[in-house]
């Protein structure tokens, strides 16, 4: 396997795994996710500690330090949101509304499969269990800022929560240089129906939503993508609050192409995710060295002419790879090991490969289906698992904003039948009180029945 940067002047690192002896070696050979240093984790923990001890004052100081913005209050009032909405371009408002409606329709259909609110009942051994999936009361969503505006992330996080029935949604978004979040982000909040918005970014926003401050009541769950500081912060507060499924970190894409693929399409799709900024991954996978070099050359041109050139260059220098594989089976093995956030199969007949993939956030199938379709309109949330967590997690959905609540009742006449089994297992485990909790009840029940019979 060779590893060199600048194939035909392109930005991708070159990997050739065609002659590897077996799939079981992939995990130890291919480049893995970039792990944060202990120093960075300690720095994020110090931010969380400052918010916990200093509250709103600490948030103002941290915002001044990291965003270079002096804020007078954390809360973005509803009147400010309305003004931002009216300042936005009418075409953007129309597009956001169309995106909102389609995402909401998809999430409503998704919710039907989860049977939110429906009571399920099971009876066995005289034990009746009723289970209901109910919404969380209050959740926090994080929407990135700084390098770009992300009104789409408001829709992709708030809509599943609202469809799930969450009553209170807290939105944190970094302020721009004016001290306010971008108008477009606030407009999306208005369209989605989110009124509780705070001008806070970074790890301090995660800490505020997890632990609360004078102006922000803590939430029960935190979702949304972010930079490495946000990702680490979510990991550090997990347990205090729910951090559903997987950690949504820096963006990732794997693009699979062959001779039938337009190399410009493949190149621009690699750039789509890489332009989000550093620490992400952009993989090109193909069986053809000619295709690999052609895509890489086109990507070099896109990078050179991009308004986000520095972000692209940094991402690709750290996490950009062009990989040759022997066949689709080896491609699938590699994809499942990478477990990418976005997988684009830009093949005319990609169903066979898609059928072999079990670890990806979302699969975009066909040469005319870029990941941007999912980023803005398709319906599944674009908040997706990164850092190889797609091996066990999927897209954010209505189910992530709910919990199961069960009620157990028992038919009295069946108590004697189950007492023996419970007592036997409890005795085996050495838990005397567990067994006595049913045995004492059975004795009392028998005694009351005998006293009733004697009367």
- Residue 248 pLDDT exceeds 70: no
pLDDT band at 32 (very low <50, low <70, confident <90, very high): confident
With CA atoms as reference, report the closest residue to 304 among 14, 12, 10, 13.
10
Between CA 188 and CA 182 the distance in angstroms is: 10
Find how far residue 142's CA is from the centre of its chain.
11
Question: What pLDDT was estimated at residue 374?
Answer: 92
Contacts of 275 (CB under 8 A, 6+ apart): 306, 308, 311, 312, 315
Between CA 348 and CA 345 the distance in angstroms is: 9
Question: What pLDDT was estimated at residue 246?
Answer: 60
pLDDT band at 1 (very low <50, low <70, confident <90, very high): very low
Domain extent for 209: 38-245+398-404
pLDDT band at 4 (very low <50, low <70, confident <90, very high): very low
Contacts of 341 (CB under 8 A, 6+ apart): 251, 252, 253, 273, 360, 361, 362, 384, 385, 386, 390
Among the ranges 49-58, 310-319, 393-402, 443-452, which has the highest mean pLDDT value?
49-58
Contacts of 42 (CB under 8 A, 6+ apart): none
Average pLDDT taken over every residue of the chain: 89
Tell me which residue has tokens 């006449």: 413
Task: Looking at the structure, tell me whether residues 151 and 292 fall in a common domain.
Answer: no
Strand partners, 363: 343
Task: Looking at the structure, tell me whether residues 90 and 215 fall in a common domain.
Answer: yes
Has this prediction a pTM greater than 0.75?
A: yes
- 388 located within any domain: no
Q: Is residue 453 helix, strand or coil?
A: helix
Among the ranges 201-210, 264-273, 383-392, 446-455, which has the highest mean pLDDT value?
201-210
- 93 located within any domain: yes
Q: What is the pLDDT of residues 311-341, one digit of tens each?
A: 888 888 888 999 999 999 999 999 999 999 9
Sign, Cα dihedral of 203, 204, 210, 216: negative
Between CA 30 and CA 408 the distance in angstroms is: 50
Between CA 130 and CA 406 the distance in angstroms is: 6
- 385 located within any domain: no
Task: Looking at the structure, tell me whether residues 203 and 156 fall in a common domain.
Answer: yes
Task: Looking at the structure, tell me whether residues 229 and 308 fall in a common domain.
Answer: no
- Residue 342 pLDDT exceeds 90: yes
CB atoms inside a 10 Å sphere around CB 283: 26
Q: Is residue 100 helix, strand or coil?
A: helix
Among 3-7, 179-183, 254-258, 424-428, whose mean pLDDT is lowest? 3-7
Question: What pLDDT was estimated at residue 453?
Answer: 62
Task: Looking at the structure, tell me whether residues 139 and 59 fall in a common domain.
Answer: yes
Task: Looking at the structure, tell me whether residues 194 and 75 fall in a common domain.
Answer: yes
Find how far residue 86's CA is from the centre of its chain.
30
Number of domains observed in the structure of the chain = 3
Q: Is residue 140 helix, strand or coil?
A: strand
According to DSSP H, which parts of 67-118 are helical?
78-87, 90-114
What is the token pair recorded at 97? 């509304």
Q: What are phi and psi of 142, to 5 degrees?
A: -110, 130
Phi-psi region of 292 (alpha: psi -120 to 50; beta: other; left: phi over 0): alpha
Q: What is the pLDDT of residues 376-420, one digit of tens each?
A: 999 999 999 888 889 998 999 999 999 999 999 988 777 888 888
Task: Looking at the structure, tell me whether residues 159 and 218 fall in a common domain.
Answer: yes
Q: Which of these is catalytic: 13, 100, 276, 342?
A: 342
What percent of the chain clears pLDDT 90, i.e. is strictly above it? 64
- 59 located within any domain: yes
CATH code assigned at 278: 3.40.50.1980
With CA atoms as reference, report the closest residue to 63 among 179, 195, 214, 223.
179
Task: Looking at the structure, tell me whether residues 161 and 280 fall in a common domain.
Answer: no
Task: Looking at the structure, tell me whether residues 237 and 338 fall in a common domain.
Answer: no
Task: Looking at the structure, tell me whether residues 227 and 268 fall in a common domain.
Answer: no
Task: Looking at the structure, tell me whether residues 277 and 232 fall in a common domain.
Answer: no
> Span 203-215, mean pLDDT?
97
**Residues 397 and 379: beta-carbon distance below 8 Å:** no
With CA atoms as reference, report the closest residue to 159 among 361, 364, 374, 379.
379
- Residue 35 pLDDT exceeds 60: yes
What is the token pair recorded at 433? 């009180």
Can 342 be counted among the known catalytic residues? yes
- 390 located within any domain: no
Task: Looking at the structure, tell me whether residues 331 and 220 fall in a common domain.
Answer: no
Q: What is the pLDDT of residues 349-361, one digit of tens each?
A: 999 999 999 999 9
Q: In terms of C-beta density within 10 A (0-12 exposed, 13-18 middle, 19 or more buried), how is residue 5 classed?
A: middle
- 163 located within any domain: yes
pLDDT band at 6 (very low <50, low <70, confident <90, very high): very low
Question: What pLDDT was estimated at residue 25?
Answer: 66
- Residue 157 pLDDT exceeds 60: yes
Q: Which of these is catalytic: 184, 275, 341, 344?
A: 341
- Residue 122 pLDDT exceeds 50: yes
Tell me which residue has tokens 């009295």: 412
Between CA 351 and CA 37 the distance in angstroms is: 40
Between CA 296 and CA 302 the distance in angstroms is: 10
- 2 located within any domain: no
Name the percent of the chain in helix, strand, coil, to the closest 5. 50, 15, 35
């Amino acid at each position: 396997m060779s590893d060199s940067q600048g194939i035909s002047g392109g930005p991708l690192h070159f990997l050739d795994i065609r002659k590897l002896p077996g799939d079981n070696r992939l995990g130890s050979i291919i480049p893995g996710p970039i792990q944060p240093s202990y120093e960075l984790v300690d720095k994020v923990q110090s931010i969380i500690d400052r918010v916990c001890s200093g509250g709103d004052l600490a948030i103002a100081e941290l915002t001044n330090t990291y965003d270079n913005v002096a804020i007078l209050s954390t809360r973005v009032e509803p009147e400010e949101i309305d003004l931002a909405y009216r300042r936005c371009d009418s075409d953007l408002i129309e597009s956001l509304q169309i995106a909102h409606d389609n995402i909401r329709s998809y999430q409503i259909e998704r919710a039907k499969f989860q049977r939110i609110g429906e009571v399920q009942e099971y009876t066995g051994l005289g034990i009746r269990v009723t289970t209901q999936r109910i919404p969380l009361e209050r959740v926090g969503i994080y929407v990135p800022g700084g390098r770009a505006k992300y009104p789409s992330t408001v829709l992709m996080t708030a809509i599943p929560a609202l469809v799930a029935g969450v009553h209170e949604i807290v939105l944190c978004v970094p302020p721009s240089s004016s001290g306010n979040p971008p108008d477009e982000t606030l407009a999306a909040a208005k369209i989605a129906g989110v009124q509780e918005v705070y001008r806070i970014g970074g790890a301090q926003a995660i800490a505020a939503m997890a632990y609360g401050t004078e102006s922000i009541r803590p939430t029960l769950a935190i979702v949304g993508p972010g930079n490495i500081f946000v990702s680490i912060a979510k990991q550090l507060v997990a347990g205090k609050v729910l951090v559903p499924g997987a950690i949504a970190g820096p963006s990732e894409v794997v693009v699979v192409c062959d001779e039938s693929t337009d190399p410009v399409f493949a190149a621009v799709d690699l750039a789509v995710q890489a332009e989000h900024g550093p620490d992400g991954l952009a993989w090109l996978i193909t069986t053809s060295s000619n295709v690999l070099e052609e895509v890489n050359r086109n990507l070099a041109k896109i990078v050179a002419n991009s308004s986000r050139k520095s972000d692209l260059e940094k991402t690709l220098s750290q996490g950009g790879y062009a990989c040759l594989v022997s066949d689709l089976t080896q491609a699938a093995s590699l994809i499942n090991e990478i477990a990418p956030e976005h997988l684009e199969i830009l093949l005319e007949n990609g169903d066979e490969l898609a059928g072999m993939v079990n670890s990806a956030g979302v699969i975009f199938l066909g040469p005319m289906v870029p990941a941007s379709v999912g980023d803005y309109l398709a319906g599944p949330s674009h908040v997706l698992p990164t850092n190889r967590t797609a091996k066990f997690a999927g897209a954010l959905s209505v189910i992530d904003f709910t919990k199961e609540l069960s009620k157990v009742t028992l038919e009295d006449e069946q108590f004697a039948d189950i007492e023996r089994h419970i007592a036997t297992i409890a005795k085996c485990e050495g838990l005397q009180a567990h067994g006595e909790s049913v045995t004492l009840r059975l004795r009392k029940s028998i005694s009351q029945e005998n006293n009733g019979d004697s009367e």
